[in-house]
Amino acid sequence: MSATSPKRAITTLLFDFGGTLDSAGRHWSTLFADAAAECGVEILQPTFDHAFLAADRALNAEPGTGALGLYDHVLRQTELLLTELKQADPGLAMRVAARFVEDALVHLDRSRLLLARERPARRIGVISNFTPNLPRIVRDVGLAPYVDVLACSDILGLRKPGHDIFHWTLTTLGVAARDCAMIGDSLTNDVMPAKTLGMTTVWLRGDRVFGKGDPSAADHTVSTLAEALAALS
């Protein structure tokens, strides 16, 4: 008989939103750049990243952001982004936004089916650094019935990688960190803090690594959400 204790069952799954549930680990800046390129706007990625961050900050500061659905959110962010790039054009913004949302909805539909399969046996939470309209987006795309707790940074005033937003989620769910798995595309925001807290960690590795992330903090490294859930089955 083995002297080691058996691993505890994972009873709760925690997910990032952007780059995890709406894409296969690809950052929104990359997705916007790809959508713009398909619409004829070719910008070097470092320049695009800078404009994306500026547009992101501007969108966060706008008072009406909390009421936006997914398409209107992406369209407004596209307008701000193209303004930063000195490419402002309403028609172009609509085409880029439509292309972005088309791809995101494919991933979100897959995520909805995957979460539905997990939901009877496991509780599910979403922890995201996002604008206050995230609950509306989650509801509009059909994920809400499968999400027990939604921790949105701009609603709570807490942000990853800080531990407080994780503690809030665990307390709200009434679960211990050791019984949870955190699945996300960011090593620094998702995987590393969750690992420090004692969770099982799954890194959805996409096309880029931001910050000084430590891949060894991931218990599992995968390329799709389906692979992530299979690793935890």
pLDDT in tens, the chain (233 residues): 334 434 568 999 999 999 999 998 988 999 999 999 999 998 888 898 999 999 999 999 999 999 999 999 999 999 999 999 999 999 999 999 999 999 999 999 999 999 999 988 999 999 999 999 999 999 999 999 999 999 999 999 999 999 999 999 999 999 999 999 999 999 999 999 999 999 999 999 977 666 678 899 999 999 999 999 999 98
Domain with CATH 3.40.50.1000 in the chain: 12-25+107-231
Give domain 28-105's CATH number out of 1.25.40, 1.10.3470, 1.20.120, 1.10.150: 1.10.150
Please answer whether residues 7 and 116 qualify as being in contact, where contact means their C-beta atoms are separated by less than 8 angstroms: no
The whole-model pTM stands at 0.93
Please state the φ and ψ torsions of residue 203, each to the nearest 5 degrees: -100, 115
Contacts of 6 (CB under 8 A, 6+ apart): none
Q: How many CB atoms lie within 10 A of CB 167?
A: 14
C-alpha 191/C-alpha 53 separation (Å) is: 22
* Pairing mode, strands 123-128 and 12-15: parallel
